[in-house]
Amino acid sequence: MRVIIIGAGEVGSSIAAGLADNHEVVVVDVDGERVDALTYSLDVLAIEGDGTSLSTLREAGIEQTDMLIASTDDDETNLVACGTAKTVDDPFTIARVKNVDYLETWEHAENAFGVDFMVCSNLLTAEDIVRVIGLPAARDVDPFAGGKVQMAEFEVDEGSPVAGQTVQEADRFESLTFAALLRENDVEIPSGETKIRAGDKVVVIGSPESVQGFAREVAPGATPTGNEDLVIIGGSEIGFHTARLLEDRGLHPRLIEQDHDRARELAEKLPDTVVMENDATDADFLAREHIDEADAVVATLESDEKNLLVSVLAKQLGAKRSVAVVESGEYVGIFETVGVDVAVNPREVTAEEITRFTRETHTENVALIESDRAEVLEIEVDRESALVGRPIREAVADLPTGLVVGAITRDREFVVPRGDTIIEPGDHVVVFVDMDILDDVSGKL
Amino acid sequence: MNGHLRVDWRASVSLVGTVVKWLAAAMLFPLVVALYYGEGITTFVAAIALSITVGWTLEQLDDDPDLGAREGFLMVALTWLAVSIVGGAPYVIAGEGSVAVPVNALFESMSGFTTTGATVMQNIGFEEHSRALMMWRQQTQWLGGMGIVVLAVAILPELSVGGAQLMDAEAPGPGIQKLTPRIAETARALWVAYLGITALEIVLLYGLHLLGNALGTPLAPNMTLYQSVAHGFTTMSTGGFSPAARSIEAFSAAVQWLIIPFMVAAGTNFALFWHVLNGESEHLFRDSEFKSYVGIIGVLAAVATALLVTGVGMARVPTIGPIAGNLEASARHATFQLASIITTTGYASMDFTTWSIPAKYLLFAAMFIGGSAGSTGGAIKIVRWYVILKSFKRELFTTVHPEAVRPVRLGGRALDERALRGIYAFTLLYIVIFFVATLVLFLNSTRNPDPVFPLSTLEAMSAVAATLGNVGPGFGVVGPMGNYLKFTASSKLFMVFLMWIGRLEILPVLVLLTPAYWRS
Query: What pLDDT digit, counting tens, does each position of B384-442 carry?
Result: 999 999 999 999 999 999 998 889 988 778 888 888 998 999 999 999 999 999 999 98
For residues B197 and B272, the answer to whether their CB atoms sit within 8 Å is no
Nearest chain A residue to B153 by CA: give it: A43
Instruction: Give the residue-averaged pLDDT of A325-340.
Output: 86
Nearest chain A residue to B67 by CA: give it: A41
Substitution target from B66, B71, B158, B161 for chain A, most A beta carbons within 10 A: B161
Cβ of residue A59 closer than 8 Å to a chain B Cβ:
no
Task: Report how far residue B247's alpha carbon sits from residue A47's, in angstroms, rounded to the nearest whole number.
Answer: 45
Listed ranges A143-157, A198-212, A225-239, B12-26; the one with the highest mean pLDDT: B12-26
Rounded to 5°, the CA angle A263-A267-A273 comes to: 115
Nearest chain B residue to A17 by CA: give it: B161
Hey, are the CB atoms on B160 and A24 less than 8 Å from each other?
no
Provide the shortest C-alpha distance from residue B438 to chain A (in Å): 36
Q: How confident is the model at residue A203 (pLDDT cuts 50, 70, 90)?
A: confident
Q: Which is higher by pLDDT, B135 or A408?
A: B135
Hey, are the CB atoms on A24 and B180 less than 8 Å from each other?
yes
Q: Which residues of B touch A46 (CB under 8 A)?
A: 178
Instruction: Give the residue-averaged pLDDT of B106-134.
Output: 95
Listed ranges A162-166, A419-423, B57-61; the one with the highest mean pLDDT: B57-61
Hey, are the CB atoms on A43 and B69 less than 8 Å from each other?
no
Q: Which residues of A touch B168 (CB under 8 A)?
A: 40
Instruction: Give the residue-averaged pLDDT of A386-410.
Output: 84
Q: Which is higher by pLDDT, B278 or A65?
A: A65
Cβ of residue A228 closer than 8 Å to a chain B Cβ:
no
End-to-end, the C-alpha distance of chain B in Å comes to 13
Point out the residue among B160, B181, B183 whose CB comes nearest to the CB of A26: B181
Find the helix packing angle between B489-503 and B69-87, rounded to 10°: 130
Q: Which is higher by pLDDT, A310 or A156?
A: A310
Hey, are the CB atoms on B163 and A43 less than 8 Å from each other?
yes
Provide the shortest C-alpha distance from residue B226 to chain A (in Å): 40
Task: Report how far residue B31's alpha carbon sits from residue B42's, in angstroms, rounded to the nearest whole number.
Answer: 9
Cβ of residue A44 closer than 8 Å to a chain B Cβ:
yes
Query: For residue A350, which amino acid is it?
Result: T
CA distance to A253, A264, A270, A283, A338, per residue, from A313 (Å): 19, 25, 26, 8, 11
Point out the residue among A2, A32, A39 whose CB comes nearest to the CB of B178: A39
Q: What is the mean pLDDT of chain A?
A: 85
Q: How confident is the model at residue A37 (pLDDT cuts 50, 70, 90)?
A: confident
Rounded to 5°, the CA angle A408-A411-A415 comes to: 30
Per residue in A96-153, pLDDT tens?
A: 999 989 998 988 887 889 999 899 999 989 988 988 887 767 777 777 776 788 888 8
Per residue in B29-46, pLDDT tens?
A: 999 999 999 999 999 999
Point out the residue among A24, A26, A40 whose CB comes nearest to the CB of B164: A40
Would you state the pLDDT for residue B3?
45
Hey, are the CB atoms on B178 and A45 less than 8 Å from each other?
yes
Per residue in A364-395, pLDDT tens?
A: 566 766 656 777 888 888 888 888 888 888 88
Nearest chain B residue to A3 by CA: give it: B181
Q: Which residues of B touch A39 (CB under 8 A)?
A: 164, 178
Lowest mean per-residue pLDDT among A351-365, A405-419, B105-119, B219-233: A351-365
DSSP per-residue string spanning A180-207: EEEETTEEE---TTPBP-TT-EEEEEE-
Nearest chain B residue to A33 by CA: give it: B416
For residues A205 and A212, the answer to whether their CB atoms sit within 8 Å is no
Cβ of residue A2 closer than 8 Å to a chain B Cβ:
yes
For residues B1 and B8, the answer to whether their CB atoms sit within 8 Å is yes
Rounded to 5°, the CA angle B492-B498-B502 comes to: 150
Q: Find, among A41, A58, A38, the residue nearest to A50 by Cα.
A: A58
Hey, are the CB atoms on B181 and A40 less than 8 Å from each other?
no
Task: Report how far residue B444's alpha carbon sits from residue B465's, in angstroms, rounded to the nearest whole number.
Answer: 16
Segment B284-293 long-range contacts (CB within 8 Å, at least 24 positions apart): B286/B411, B287/B411, B288/B386, B288/B410, B288/B411, B289/B372, B289/B373, B289/B382, B289/B383, B289/B386, B289/B410, B289/B411, B290/B372, B292/B382, B292/B385, B292/B386, B293/B267, B293/B268, B293/B342, B293/B371, B293/B372, B293/B382
For residues B478 and B484, the answer to whether their CB atoms sit within 8 Å is yes
Cβ of residue A278 closer than 8 Å to a chain B Cβ:
no
Query: For residue B517, which amino acid is it?
Result: Y
Pairs of CB atoms within 8 A across A/B? 28
Segment A411-415 long-range contacts (CB within 8 Å, at least 24 positions apart): A412/A107, A412/A145, A412/A146, A412/A148, A413/A148, A414/A148, A414/A149, A414/A175, A414/A207
Q: Which residues of B touch A25 (CB under 8 A)?
A: 181
3-state DSSP call for residue B294? Answer: helix
For residues B173 and B381, the answer to whether their CB atoms sit within 8 Å is yes
Would you state the pLDDT for residue A57?
93
Residues facing A155 on adjacent strands: A201
Task: Report how far residue B369's alpha carbon sits from residue B386's, in angstroms, rounded to the nearest whole number.
Answer: 10
Q: Which residues of A touch B416 (CB under 8 A)?
A: 32
Provide the shortest C-alpha distance from residue A199 to chain B (in Å): 37
Hey, are the CB atoms on B165 and A40 less than 8 Å from each other?
yes
- Overall residue count recorded for chain B in this entry: 520
Which of the 8 DSSP states describes residue A146? G
Task: Report how far residue B205's alpha carbon sits from residue B208's, in angstroms, rounded to the nearest whole number.
Answer: 5
Nearest chain B residue to A35 by CA: give it: B178
Largest pairwise CA distance in chain B? 74
With 80 as the cut, is the pLDDT of residue B276 above it? yes
Instruction: Give the residue-averaged pLDDT of B347-360.
Output: 94
Nearest chain B residue to A36 by CA: give it: B175
Rounded to 5°, the CA angle A245-A251-A256 comes to: 75
Hey, are the CB atoms on A44 and B181 less than 8 Å from each other?
yes
CA distance to A51, A61, A75, A320, B107, per residue, from A70 (Å): 8, 15, 9, 39, 54
Cβ of residue A21 closer than 8 Å to a chain B Cβ:
no
Task: Report how far residue B471's alpha carbon sits from residue B481's, in angstroms, rounded to the nearest whole number.
Answer: 14
Which of the 8 DSSP states describes residue B456? P
Residues facing A25 on adjacent strands: A3
Cβ of residue A24 closer than 8 Å to a chain B Cβ:
yes
Q: How confident is the model at residue A223 (pLDDT cuts 50, 70, 90)?
A: low
Residues facing A46 on adjacent strands: A27
Would you state the pLDDT for residue B2?
44
Cβ of residue A63 closer than 8 Å to a chain B Cβ:
no
All residues at 6 or more sequence positions from A244 whose CB lies less than 8 Å from its CB, including other chains:
A126, A269, A270
Largest pairwise CA distance in chain A? 65
Hey, are the CB atoms on B164 and A39 less than 8 Å from each other?
yes
Q: How confident is the model at residue A182 (pLDDT cuts 50, 70, 90)?
A: confident
Hey, are the CB atoms on B181 and A32 less than 8 Å from each other?
no
Q: What is the mean pLDDT of chain B?
A: 92
Point out the residue among B168, B183, B416 whose CB comes nearest to the CB of A43: B183
Residues of B in CB contact (< 8 Å) with A are 69, 160-161, 163-165, 168, 178, 180-184, 416
Hey, are the CB atoms on B164 and A43 less than 8 Å from each other?
yes
Q: How confident is the model at residue A248 (pLDDT cuts 50, 70, 90)?
A: confident
Provide the shortest C-alpha distance from residue B181 to chain A (in Å): 4
Q: Going edge to edge, which strands form the sheet with A321-325?
A: A274-277, A254-257, A230-233, A296-299, A321-325, A342-344
Listed ranges A289-293, B91-95, B317-321, B503-507; the one with the highest mean pLDDT: B91-95
Hey, are the CB atoms on B180 and A45 less than 8 Å from each other?
yes
Nearest chain A residue to B159 by CA: give it: A43
Quick count: other Cβ atoms within 10 Å of Cβ A266? Answer: 21
For residues A429 and A421, the answer to whether their CB atoms sit within 8 Å is no
Q: Find, among A259, A261, A269, the residue nearest to A233 by Cα.
A: A259
- Overall residue count recorded for chain A in this entry: 445
Would you state the pLDDT for residue B4?
53
Q: How confident is the model at residue B250 (pLDDT cuts 50, 70, 90)?
A: very high
Point out the residue among A24, A32, A40 whose CB comes nearest to the CB of B181: A24
Cβ of residue A31 closer than 8 Å to a chain B Cβ:
no
| pTM summary value | 0.80
Q: Which residues of A touch B184 (CB under 8 A)?
A: 43
Task: Report how far residue A398's alpha carbon sits from residue A376's, in angstroms, rounded to the nearest whole number.
Answer: 19
Would you state the pLDDT for residue B34?
96
Point out the residue among A32, A43, A46 whose CB comes nearest to the CB of B416: A32
With 60 as the cut, is the pLDDT of residue B193 above it? yes
Q: Is the peptide bond between A253 and the residue preceding it cis, with omega within 30 degrees of 0? A: no
Residue A7 φ/ψ region, left for φ over 0, alpha for ψ in the -120 to 50 degree band, beta for the rest? left
Provide the shortest C-alpha distance from residue B246 to chain A (in Å): 45
For residues B268 and B275, the answer to whether their CB atoms sit within 8 Å is no
Hey, are the CB atoms on B180 and A42 less than 8 Å from each other?
no
Would you state the pLDDT for residue B520?
66
